[in-house]
Amino acid sequence: MGKSFLIMLFSIPSTILLFLAVWIGTGWNWKIGLVSACAILFVFLLIALYFILTMREIGWLDVFLPVPFAVTWIIMMSPLLLAGFFTGDIFHIPDFIGTALILTLSLWMVKQGDMSHKWLIIPILSFIYEMLPVDIPGPVDDMFALSGAGLSVVIQLVRGSRLFYHREGKVQSEEKHKELT
């Protein structure tokens, strides 16, 4: 439960130390240090996401971790955007925050028992895709990732609602409801 949180806490000082070591080691070239720091932070975040995905029981702390991950990643990517490594089209901050919120909602639904773990893969893949500084020209790919993750959550919300399995004034059994989800 707390493994992801501990990895996140460990990633910040490790990232700063790596930045300083590479910055000094390359003759005070801060751009190379920043790129290496972002790379190691990305590795830590992927490890933390792996732990979230493979947990048997998700804790409340883990439910809300994607948003701090996203904020941390945005803070780490901001100097790269300002330094001109990436254009504004490659890294869309609002879409990344949106996928973090959708992943948080998905984890919350898994925690509540309204969604199975297998449905987490779509929001997690969207979150990772938005984290990476790759892009198809235009906002189409980001909107695809965001809307795909949102649609998977909406489908699970509809499938898990009482309206879905309420027929002719009778509520079907919980077994039938579990079978449908």
Domain spans in the chain, listed from the N-terminal domain onward: 3-180
Residue 167 pLDDT: 46
Percent of the chain past pLDDT 70, that is, above it, reads 76
Residue 153 pLDDT: 85
Residue 6 pLDDT: 76
| Residue 10 structure tokens | 């460990």
Residue 12 pLDDT: 77
| Residue 114 structure tokens | 């309204």
Residue 54 pLDDT: 78
| Residue 61 structure tokens | 């702390």
| Residue whose token pair is 């290496």 | 36
Residue 131 pLDDT: 78
Q: Sorting pLDDT into bands at 50, 70 and 90, what band is 101?
A: very high
Residue 87 pLDDT: 62
Crossing angle between the packed helical segments 30-54 and 3-25, to the nearest 10 degrees: 160
> What average pLDDT does this structure show over 151-160?
80
> What average pLDDT does this structure show over 22-49?
83
Residue 71 contacts residue 30 (beta carbons within 8 Å):
no
pLDDT higher for 134 or 56? 56
pLDDT higher for 36 or 163? 36
Please state which of the ranges 11-25, 69-83, 90-104, 159-173 shows the lowest mean pLDDT.
Answer: 159-173
Calculate the average pLDDT of the chain. Answer: 76
Compute the distance between CA of residue 157 and CA of residue 175 in angstroms, rounded to an integer.
Answer: 18
Compute the distance between CA of residue 78 and CA of residue 84 in angstroms, rounded to an integer.
Answer: 10
> What average pLDDT does this structure show over 125-144?
76
